Amino acid sequence: MILQNFTYFLGVLTFLGACSPKVTQSGKASYYADKFDGRKTASGEVFRNHKLTAAHKTLPFGTKVKVTNLNNGKTVKVRVNDRGPFVAGRIIDLSKQAAKKIAIDKVGVARVTISYKKKK
């Protein structure tokens, strides 16, 4: 009976995990240089370093992403409005304001996880 209940419990957990719309990725984050402020992004909007925005290679524009700095646990929520980064191993480029919120503005690059809700 205990084994049967445990098996059912694991089955429910597996089902719930499979239905979860949340996706996570791990890698490195960097942030935009000041020279990009005022330029157009791939989405067509003007990039502003003081906004909480980011570049991702494949996520749809407008996707809200939670970025967590793995070195200090700080988080920030950003909106994808550009494409990039174009450096191997990096998964997201942040605006300077977003980088400050998670304390990577002084180091330039940090290990992060990103999480977002997968659109159906």
pLDDT digits 0-9 by tens, 68-82: 999 999 999 999 999
Our count of domains for the chain comes to 1
CATH number at residue 33: 2.40.40.10
- Contact call for residues 69 and 101 (beta carbons, < 8 A): no
pLDDT at site 12: 39
pLDDT at site 7: 41
Place of tokens 């570049």: 55
Question: pTM for the full model?
Answer: 0.80
Domain contains 15: no
The residue ranges of DSSP E strands in the chain, in sequence order, are 22-31, 53-55, 64-69, 75-82, 90-94, 110-117
Domain contains 2: no
Which structural domain, as residue segments, surrounds residue 46? 22-117
List of the chain residues with pLDDT < 50: 1-16
pLDDT at site 65: 98
Domain contains 80: yes
Name the amino acid, one letter, at 5. Answer: N
